[in-house]
Chain A
Amino acid sequence: MHELSIAMQIIEIVEEEAKNHAAVGISAIKLDIGKLSGIEPDALEFAMEEAVRGSMAEKAEVQYNYIQAVSVCEDCCHEFESQDYFKTCPFCNSLNTSLIRGKELKIAAIDLITN
């Protein structure tokens, strides 16, 4: 259940940014979450509902952009979608592959309310 730690980190960062920009509230939080980032979507969305309470983001709409994982094979150069952590290239069976998308754990943007 590390998703609550993650949710708390999100709130800490967005509140810090909001204060730095003299905002009075946060109306939206846009998150980029890679499908292989180690985050369980249901757990994160549940944790976020709890984490926003009493924060500047209490009424914020949280948008989750889940990013499909994509790997590239270093041997045959094909790109392929990865559903899991197993790295075998479906074209040449090489294990010499690298994930190029899907590990994101990022706050893409926030909407700030200012007076």
Chain B
Amino acid sequence: MSHLLDVDHLTTRIRTSRGVVRAVQDVSFHLEAGETLGLVGESGCGKSMTGLSLMGLLPPGGTLMDGSSVRLDGRELVGLPEREMTRVRGNDIAMVFQDPMTSLDPTKTIGHQVAEPVLLHRGCSRAEAAERAADVLGMVGLPHPRERMSDYPHQLSGGLRQRVLIAMALANEPRVLIADEPTTALDVTIQAQILALLADLRARLGMAMILITHDMGVTAGHADRVNVMYAGRIAESAGTDRLFHGMRHPYTQSLLASVPRLTQDPEVPLATIPGLPPDLTEPASGCRFAARCPYVTDACRAQEPELTGPDEHRYACVHPTDGPRLPGTGPLAALPRTAAKPSENGAPGANATARPLLEARGLVREFPLRGGRVPGVGRRVVHAVSGVSFTLGEGETFGLVGESGCGKTTLGRLLVGLDRPDAGTVTLDGTDLGHLRGRELRCRRRDFQMVFQDPFSSLDPRMRVGAILREPLRIQGIGTTREQKDRVAELLAEVGLPERGADLFPHEFSGGQRQRVGLARALALTPRLIVADEPVSALDVSVRAQVLNLMKRLQASRGLSYVVISHDLAVVRYLADRIGVMYLGRLVEIGSADDIHLRAAHPYTAGLLEAVPVPDPEAERAKHGAAVTGELPSPVAPPSGCGFRTRCPLATRRCAEEQPALRSFGPAHAAACHFPLREPAPEKSAAPTPA
């Protein structure tokens, strides 16, 4: 039986200085025209390498092992001479890559780059190729394609660049499109637009698509069938509904359970997968997931299970489970449940009646553009933060959500005094940070700390972890050397790292472990407030859940207050008591976590929530197109009136003329919109901070 694409026993190895990496091991699957196959897994599981192997684009040192077979319409591609293979690439099989910012040649116009594969494969004239390029650019939704053909990549936003990349891949109407994390680098509203575009084009052109992603939500919404990959192998393969509702492999089960959801009960801890994926340079003995599997037995370690079962549902497991793990059931539930946090005993915002720990009032931060003096206009500035106010009570968590460029990171830096506001004040426990200078400010820093996004750049690579954790104590002159060392040991234990970790360098830890070190460093001075900027966005799903749980546990045991900054609404939902939604430097809506998620008043909040992919096939299918259209306007020249009006379905002339003020929609719930989705509370307007 022949399919459009048949992949059999695909095995890829890469020779590196560390040894031979078994990147893809015995992967077999098939694909029909018009079908979308999802390849899901965490980083390093071999899903991208599978895509590159199909294209014959292995990195230096990479080889396909004997027995590997890739047949397109019955024609064997493995072993094809390079000349022949170049005719297949970009013509029969095309690929879209992850990062639109780096995937376009910066020195060539986009018209040229889209026309290039047409010229190459169709043997047509330059004019015809350019004509075709314009058509395809129009098809992928680039506004005014003909005028923009002569633009260079840096003149386009990330979302538009991804459209150009898709146009490039589709220029020759390939039969198979491999989309490798096509939306991972994009904001959630743009992600929804791009995914809808891909689905639409696939249907219109009758292509087959391989959708490579780490995101269970994206898979749920856009794949017909799913291959779950783990450590270079397919762990489970089934139709999407079946996989999400009747998975048999414990890895699939754990992966799905560890995804934080919008509907998550924040009181119930996230399921996690302990430990780390195996090192692929070492040959496997037994099931590769055994070391992290809750159902493991000796049989699992004895022999590697084969991928078995009928074609509709295959899995490689000795002790298959049946269906998803329900919250509160399964082996994880056997562990001791949480003692509820003291701060969570009361209603959300109960502490707000006491004096707030942190108060931000009217914060404004503008960055002058370099060389931005334009005659007649004056100095142009980026309006990063424009008048943000909120308060945070002791033991509370405030979540800041928004897309990239909305000013949330700048706001975070203002809160901890890494940057000074142009206007407005930050008051911490009654002290105005703006009045602190030099030594006073340095001393006061022990009360508020920051956890950074990138665990690879936030730890000094030349210092041992012990020295990194001691540094804050030494700077602040706390304790003797002996006491400091004891403190380091305590901190390591507290964040779940072994004591010998103190003698190691950061590069010897995994990303999740480094983020634990980052947390421990922030805790060293026993601060009262921690601002965490995207604390888990660099981490894989399973590790992300571990770190999120740790953050909650630390908050409970130490009575910490958090400001959590994230683009991921589910993460914020899990951690935060109250949430602020930012758009173009302003808080457009603020309220309790439930207010935001269940009773959103601002169309942007609603659109943002709608755009988040949920790991549930039915829910995803029920969505119609992208919830928020268009691109983020430039923060240099934000739209007049309401910043969101250019993308808002409800916008009228009034929105352009008058900037909406925050209005109250209930206790501690406010939104800035002329045409809110809910009835505002009776009073005319309310301060964002309930006094």
Q: Do A and B bind each other?
A: no
Chain A residues packing against B (C-beta within 8 Å): none
Chain B residues packing against A (C-beta within 8 Å): none
